[in-house]
């Protein structure tokens, strides 16, 4: 695991943008897995800046987002499709037909989940998966549980997640209770993973990525088994790793 600890959120966003830009420069037809939420917003701003400077060309990439709320149409202001469109996709030259999301509206959950997995496989698998992390250690919407869900699936959001995401909806009762998310196996199939975390409320969850235990009650702990993970986290989110000792401290900047 490569670890970059940054001074602040701005530096985190710049470093993350460098990682994503390098992937696209190296492979213009890269398959990129995108995440939503507050954490990657700075990364997306930086990527738009790089696109405007002519440093990155998004025209060849294919995208797969981690998750989508159940019950929201693509046009809904809080759908993750809308989030990505507003915060990145409409501002760069990504091809609309190469953007993939789990659907928010469907009749057969199993069928749409199978289809999403098949689309990822047919595209050749994700080259770089961007991840945030929940305060409860979730990745995508893989919530703490007794077992890992491997493939894309329908999930009941944890109370903690609903509370955390209420800030985007104004009112907690507006937050959908279910989502479709890539599974832990879908995420682990990515050739490389970039995980971002900012702030001291993420420190506990981040420390589990260095625990030496893989535990479905802290889904992000599974990342210890992946061969190519880059963590870009600010020093507040890194607090508890430092306390746990430097043996896993591979790189800091
Ligand atoms: C978003 C996602 C979630 C978020 C996580 C952190 O697509 O899958 O796992 O990455 O909830 O969210 P923020 O960045 O808002 O703290």
Calculate how far, in angstroms, residue 141's C-alpha sits from the geometric centre of ligand 1. 8
How far is C-alpha 179 from the chain's CA centre? 14
67-69 β-sheet, strand order: 67-69, 178-181, 153-156
| Residue of the CA atom closest to atom 1 of ligand 1 | 36
Question: Given this model, what pLDDT does residue 253 score?
Answer: 33
Poorest-pLDDT segment among 66-80, 176-190, 237-251: 237-251
Question: Given this model, what pLDDT does residue 242 score?
Answer: 65
Tell me the mean pLDDT in the region 20-45. 98
Going along the chain from its start, the domains and CATH numbers come out as: 2-249 (3.40.50.1360)
Per-residue pLDDT tens for 106-120?
999 999 999 999 999
What is the number of the ligand 1 atom nearest to the C-alpha of 65?
Answer: 7
What is the number of the ligand 1 atom nearest to the C-alpha of 80?
Answer: 7
Calculate how far, in angstroms, residue 15's C-alpha sits from the geometric centre of ligand 1. 18
| Residue of the CA atom closest to atom 11 of ligand 1 | 134
Global pTM?
0.95
Query: How far apart, in Å, are the Cα atoms of 54 and each of 8, 25, 33, 67, 93?
Result: 26, 11, 22, 30, 11
């Amino acid at each position: 695991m490569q670890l970059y600890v940054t001074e602040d959120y701005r530096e985190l966003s710049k470093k993350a943008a460098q990682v994503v830009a390098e992937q696209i420069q190296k492979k213009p037809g890269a398959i990129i897995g995108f995440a939503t939420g507050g954490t990657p917003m700075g990364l997306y701003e930086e990527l738009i800046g790089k696109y405007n400077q002519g440093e990155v060309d998004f025209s060849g990439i294919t995208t797969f987002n981690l998750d989508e709320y159940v019950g929201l149409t693509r046009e809904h202001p809080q759908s993750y499709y809308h989030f990505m469109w507003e915060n990145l996709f409409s501002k760069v030259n990504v091809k609309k037909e190469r953007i993939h999301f789990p659907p928010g509206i469907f009749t057969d959950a199993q069928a749409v989940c199978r289809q999403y997995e098949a689309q990822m496989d047919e595209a050749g698998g994700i080259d770089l998966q961007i991840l945030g992390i929940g305060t409860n250690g979730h990745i995508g919407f893989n919530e703490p549980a007794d077992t890992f869900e491997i493939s894309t699936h329908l999930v009941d959001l944890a109370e903690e997640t609903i509370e955390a995401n209420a800030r985007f909806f104004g009112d907690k009762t507006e937050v959908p209770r279910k989502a479709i998310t890539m599974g832990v196996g879908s995420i682990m199939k990515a050739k490389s993973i970039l995980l971002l975390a900012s702030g001291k409320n993420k420190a506990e969850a981040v420390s589990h990525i260095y625990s030496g235990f893989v535990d479905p009650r802290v889904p992000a702990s599974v990342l210890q088994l992946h061969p190519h993970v880059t963590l870009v986290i600010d020093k507040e989110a890194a607090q508890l790793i430092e306390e746990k000792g430097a043996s896993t401290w591979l790189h800091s900047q």
